[in-house]
């Protein structure tokens, strides 16, 4: 069993599906010969040939349109958009065609495509390379939105996304690509979509997050335990459709909830979770729901980037605030 980084786990999952399913193709800008800007597709073209793994022009709308056409005709395309800040040119094809095809054809056609893109801040890149706009896609009926937060979950969730009969937006936290390694067996076993993962059991407060913020959230939970505060940690993983059942069970147990995400605060996915809790768990709450988020600004360059991102210290400070309610 290999210990892999998250980006290596992505590569392993792509290689597995290319090997076992001849309808899978991988394409995007520089994914073939160069192996992608982050090397997520390294050596795949050499292993599987230029017809299965190939480069495209710098044209995101064309990449998405090609994926829709292939998916509607029995292929399973995995299209890479180089950075999330470049995905907006592809939104027309994703929203107006990929997300609607099953409904439009009354079930005669489906659209089993995956759009992969690195996203999020923390690598000191310009703003187009640091976007975290997952809420745009969560709002669209017909799309799944999946975000892994560890190498093992990246492997299992990507396998599931490729095998899913409907379109999946698969967002890969850039900051986690090489942050740590863990054991990732190349078993071909997919993880379930539409499920939130409880990463740590607790009794005093529920911490909810996804993507790169899971790293800070887990560190905060560990430090809180040394302060005598037991935090339950939930990785949402699939933002759409959202597994509220797992979240509700946890909040019913703890009575307190802090939601952490790096995306801008207004109308973020955290707001949707908070609204669901207000509707369905109000009688269980011992304190107001709190959010620790990015700001309603473009991600600032370099020196202010760390201030923009939620930190372990901000999470701990917010948890202490909710613990003051009795």
Q: pLDDT class for 289, splitting at 50, 70, 90?
A: very high
Q: Name the nearest CA neighbour of 322 among 256, 234, 259, 227.
A: 256
Per the prediction, the chain carries an average pLDDT of 96
pLDDT (tens digit per residue) in 166-224: 999 999 999 999 999 999 999 999 999 999 999 999 999 999 999 999 999 999 999 99
Q: Could you tell me the pLDDT band of residue 123, with boundaries at 50, 70 and 90?
A: confident
pLDDT the model gives residue 1: 67
Catalytic site positions: 129
Average pLDDT over residues 75-101: 97
pLDDT given at position 147: 98
115 pLDDT tier (thresholds 50, 70, 90): very high
Domains and CATH numbers, the chain: 3-183 (3.40.50.970), 197-323 (3.40.50.920)
For the question of whether the overall pTM of this predicted structure is more than 0.85, the answer is yes
Show Cβ contacts of residue 217 under 8 Å, excluding neighbours closer than 6 positions: 207, 209, 233, 260, 315
- Mean pLDDT computed over 137-142: 97
Residue 16 has pLDDT above 90, yes or no: yes
- pLDDT tens, position by position, 173-182: 999 999 999 9
Q: Which long-range contacts (CB under 8 A, 24 or more apart) does 270-278 make?
A: 270/208, 272/135, 272/138, 272/242, 273/208, 273/236, 273/242, 273/244, 273/247, 276/242, 276/244, 276/247, 277/247, 277/248, 277/251
Residues paired with residue 169 on neighbouring β-strands, in sequence order: 115, 145
3-state secondary structure of 162: helix
């Amino acid at each position: 069993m290999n210990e892999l980084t998250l980006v290596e786990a992505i590569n392993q999952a792509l290689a597995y599906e290319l090997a076992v399913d001849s309808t899978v193709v991988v394409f995007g800008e520089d994914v073939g010969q160069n192996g992608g800007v982050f090397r997520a597709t390294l050596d795949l073209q050499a292993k599987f040939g230029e017809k299965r793994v190939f480069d495209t022009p710098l044209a995101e709308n064309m990449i998405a349109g090609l994926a829709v056409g292939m998916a509607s005709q029995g292929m399973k395309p995995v299209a890479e958009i180089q950075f999330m800040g470049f995905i907006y040119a592809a939104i027309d094809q994703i929203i107006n065609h990929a997300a609607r095809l099953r409904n439009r054809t009354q079930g005669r056609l489906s659209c089993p495509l995956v759009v992969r893109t690195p996203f999020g801040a923390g690598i000191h890149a310009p703003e187009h390379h640091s976007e975290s706009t997952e809420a745009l896609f969560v709002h669209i009926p017909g799309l799944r939105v999946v975000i892994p937060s560890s190498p093992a979950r990246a492997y299992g969730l990507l396998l599931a996304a490729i095998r899913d009969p409907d379109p999946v937006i698969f967002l890969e936290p850039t900051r986690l690509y090489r942050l740590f390694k863990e054991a990732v067996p190349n078993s071909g076993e997919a993880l379930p979509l539409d499920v939130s993962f409880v990463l740590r059991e607790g009794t005093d407060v529920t911490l909810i997050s996804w993507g790169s913020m899971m790293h800070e959230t887990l560190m905060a939970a560990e430090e809180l335990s040394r302060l005598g505060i037991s935090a339950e940690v939930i990785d949402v993983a699939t933002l759409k459709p959202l597994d509220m059942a797992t979240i509700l069970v946890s909040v019913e147990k703890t009575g307190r909830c802090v939601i952490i995400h790096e995306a801008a605060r207004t109308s973020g996915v955290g707001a949707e979770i908070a609204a669901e809790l207000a509707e369905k768990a109000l009688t269980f709450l011992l304190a107001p729901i709190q959010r620790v988020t990015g700001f309603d600004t473009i991600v600032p360059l370099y020196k202010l980037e760390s201030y923009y991102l939620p930190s372990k210290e901000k999470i701990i400070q917010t948890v202490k605030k909710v613990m003051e309610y009795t």
